[in-house]
A and B are shown apart, each in its own frame.
Chain A
Amino acid sequence: MKTLSKIIKFFSYTSFILLMGIIIFIFLYTVYRSIGIINFEFIFDSPRGMVLGEEGGIFPAIIGSIWFSFTALILAFVPALCSAIYLVFYLKNNRVKTFINNVFENVAAIPSIIFGLFSYAVFVYMLGFGRCILSAGVALALMIFPFLERKIEKSFLEVDKNLLIASYNLGIDIRRTFIKIVLPLCFKEIISSVILSLLFAMGATAPILFTGGVAFATVPNSLLKPAMALPLHLYLMIAQGASQINRAYGVAAVSLMILFIFSTLAYCLSHKTYKKV
């Protein structure tokens, strides 16, 4: 028993160190390769050059990525929150609950390019929206919806059931109990789920490939226009050959910085709000 415990402990520590090592290596290597690339012009200028991106910057791609991910988040968040509330607090039939949960789990396993294909068929082609941020946002929203819903549902399920029963035993209805007790307790978790989903959408390339992401566009000013996106720009730069590779690392480093900024913002926001409760 003692030997088994030692083996488990050894593998836990080794896995942790290995994983952290890989993550730190990727981060530092990306930053190292982007030294000399990231400057004011790189961040705030548009891409230029004979081979697109060999000069100028990535500003339209940064703004495009933010548009894509926020559109997806807005489209996915409300249905995800409402589904989670319904499944946890209102739906009493366990069979239906299990069925819906299975559907969500299966949707989560669908390759993201299929959402892109769906959105292309329905929004770009059938409804005539064309390749635009909205069409891509729908594809991304479908991709992040099950992830977001499961995370929010899990946070609701983690609330001590006795608190809910104590509130119901006072004659207080589900709506009030949810707003005053469940939501404050889950707020931190919901915010972190939202940010994770946002970053998940920001990093996806396949769903925007045929629906709204383009190789070049100006900074978008409408949901009905196509836009550049950081992961797509990164993919196109690498596809264009070795001469672009250092600038591609610059794009990757900027993506990591955006990720870091959003995570920090989420932490500060949820921490500050949670303290007030």
Chain B
Amino acid sequence: MTNEILTISNFNVNYGSKKILDNINLSFKKNTINCIIGSSGCGKTTLLKSINNSIVFESELHVDGNICYDGKNISDIDDSTLRKEIAMLMQMPVVFPFSLYKNLEYVLDYYLKIDKTRKNDMIVDILKKVQLYEEVKDDLNISAEKLSGGQKQRLCLARALLTEPKIILLDEPCSALDVYNTMCIENLLLSLKHESTIIIVTHNIQEAKRINDRIIFMKDGKVVEDNENFFENMSTEEARAFINVN
């Protein structure tokens, strides 16, 4: 039984004649936190979007190569099923324009046919899991748009966790958050790795240091270094230069 949940092979993304991703070959083990680092525009977010096929929302990108999830090519998996299994959180948390409760109910109603009591229990449980319950327990009907940035990000994470994803993709989830909320998210990710594989794009090197099981360093659309002991033993000059600058 293989421990790999995701394999990317000979994967390229082009925008006209410009290469956004250049021959990416990576595999991801179950229950690990994989941090992707690199300067802006190096293709990190495109790589994340490729994994759950949300790259199709970007027009005029040409994609070729293979991404296999759980042994199956993602092009053979229905998009809805794929995105249920591979959740993605964007850099700026996007909450739906209704109450906090309904944001979570929206997902539950789609996947489960359960009664109100069970639904309430699940919502409370998931809010506790993302450490948001104590802050919002008195008013679950508050508009989700009124929450703070950190609360919104945790709500988005809670919403994604309701689909019980096997892989969670995060695109700089803490870039707009204060220290408290950043620590909250980091602790959450550390606890979630026992259930899911986490692939996180970050610009925060300290954050990557705190939570990583493995670092993937990208430059100009290529994977330059893929290392489980990145900070102790960098093998490329580019990676050393990047870390020194950051």
**Which A residues contact B (CB, under 8 angstroms)?**
94, 160-163, 165-173, 176, 180-181, 184-185, 277
Interface positions of B from 77 to 133, Cβ below 8 Å from A: 79-85, 87-88, 90, 92, 94, 96-98, 106-107, 110-111
A165–B159 Cα distance when bound, in Å, is 14
Task: Kindly list chain B residues whose C-beta atoms are within 8 Å of the C-beta of A180.
Answer: 106
Q: Is the CB of B81 within 8 A of A277?
A: no
Task: Kindly list chain A residues whose C-beta atoms are within 8 Å of the C-beta of B83.
Answer: 168-171
Task: Kindly list chain A residues whose C-beta atoms are within 8 Å of the C-beta of B57.
Answer: 161, 165, 168
A215–B179 Cα distance when bound, in Å, is 77
Nearest neighbor of A166 in chain B, beta-carbon distance:
B94
Q: Is the CB of A169 within 8 A of B87?
A: yes
Decide yes or no: A169 and B88 within 8 Å by CB, A163-B94, A185-B97, A277-B98 being known contacts. yes
How far is the CB of A90 from the nearest CB of chain B, in Å? Answer: 13
Decide yes or no: A172 and B80 within 8 Å by CB, A165-B54, A166-B90 being known contacts. yes
Q: Which 9 A-B pairs have the closest CB atoms?
A: A171-B84, A166-B94, A171-B83, A169-B88, A162-B94, A171-B80, A173-B80, A172-B110, A169-B83
Q: Is the CB of B54 within 8 A of A181?
A: no
A185–B79 Cα distance when bound, in Å, is 25
Where chain A touches its partner, the secondary structure class is helix
Decide yes or no: A171 and B97 within 8 Å by CB, A94-B59, A162-B92, A176-B110 being known contacts. no
Task: Kindly list chain A residues whose C-beta atoms are within 8 Å of the C-beta of B85.
Answer: 171
How far is the CB of B55 from the nearest CB of chain A, in Å? Answer: 11
Can you offer 9 A-B residue contacts whose CB atoms are under 8 A? A162-B92, A163-B96, A165-B90, A167-B96, A169-B88, A170-B107, A172-B110, A173-B80, A184-B97
Contact of B96 among A166, A168, A169 (CB under 8 A): A166
Residue total for B at the interface (Cβ-Cβ under 8 A) = 27
Contact of A169 among B54, B81, B106 (CB under 8 A): B54
Q: Is the CB of A162 within 8 A of B90?
A: yes
**Which B residues contact A (CB, under 8 angstroms)?**
52, 54, 57, 59, 79-85, 87-88, 90, 92, 94, 96-98, 106-107, 110-111, 156, 159-160, 163
How far is the CB of A88 from the nearest CB of chain B, in Å? Answer: 13
Nearest neighbor of A159 in chain B, beta-carbon distance:
B97
A198–B83 Cα distance when bound, in Å, is 42
Nearest neighbor of B169 in chain A, beta-carbon distance:
A169
Task: Kindly list chain A residues whose C-beta atoms are within 8 Å of the C-beta of B84.
Answer: 170-171
How far is the CB of B20 from the nearest CB of chain A, in Å? Answer: 18
A162–B110 Cα distance when bound, in Å, is 19
Q: Is the CB of B54 within 8 A of A170?
A: no
A165-B94, A171-B163, A184-B97 known; 14 new pairs, CB 8 Å cut-off, are: A162-B90, A162-B92, A165-B54, A166-B90, A167-B106, A168-B79, A169-B160, A170-B83, A170-B87, A171-B81, A171-B82, A173-B80, A176-B110, A185-B97
A165–B57 Cα distance when bound, in Å, is 8
A170–B84 Cα distance when bound, in Å, is 6
Q: Is the CB of A168 within 8 A of B54?
A: yes
Nearest neighbor of A162 in chain B, beta-carbon distance:
B94
Q: Is the CB of A163 within 8 A of B97?
A: yes
Task: Kindly list chain A residues whose C-beta atoms are within 8 Å of the C-beta of B159.
Answer: 170
Task: Kindly list chain A residues whose C-beta atoms are within 8 Å of the C-beta of B160.
Answer: 169-170
Task: Kindly list chain B residues whose C-beta atoms are within 8 Å of the C-beta of A169.
Answer: 52, 54, 83, 87-88, 90, 160
How far is the CB of A275 from the nearest CB of chain B, in Å? Answer: 12
Nearest neighbor of B162 in chain A, beta-carbon distance:
A170
Nearest neighbor of A176 in chain B, beta-carbon distance:
B110
Task: Kindly list chain A residues whose C-beta atoms are within 8 Å of the C-beta of B94.
Answer: 160, 162-163, 165-166
Task: Kindly list chain B residues whose C-beta atoms are within 8 Å of the C-beta of A176.
Answer: 110
Q: Is the CB of A166 within 8 A of B156?
A: yes
Task: Kindly list chain A residues whose C-beta atoms are within 8 Å of the C-beta of B98.
Answer: 277
How far is the CB of B162 from the nearest CB of chain A, in Å? Answer: 8
Task: Kindly list chain B residues whose C-beta atoms are within 8 Å of the C-beta of A168.
Answer: 54, 57, 79, 83
Task: Kindly list chain A residues whose C-beta atoms are within 8 Å of the C-beta of B79.
Answer: 168, 171
Task: Kindly list chain B residues whose C-beta atoms are within 8 Å of the C-beta of A94.
Answer: 59
How far is the CB of B191 from the nearest CB of chain A, in Å? Answer: 21
A171–B112 Cα distance when bound, in Å, is 13
Residue among B84, B97, B160, B163 with most chain A CB within 10 A: B97
A277–B88 Cα distance when bound, in Å, is 26
Task: Kindly list chain A residues whose C-beta atoms are within 8 Å of the C-beta of B59.
Answer: 94
Q: Is the CB of A181 within 8 A of B96?
A: yes
Nearest neighbor of A165 in chain B, beta-carbon distance:
B57
A184–B97 Cα distance when bound, in Å, is 10
A160–B92 Cα distance when bound, in Å, is 13
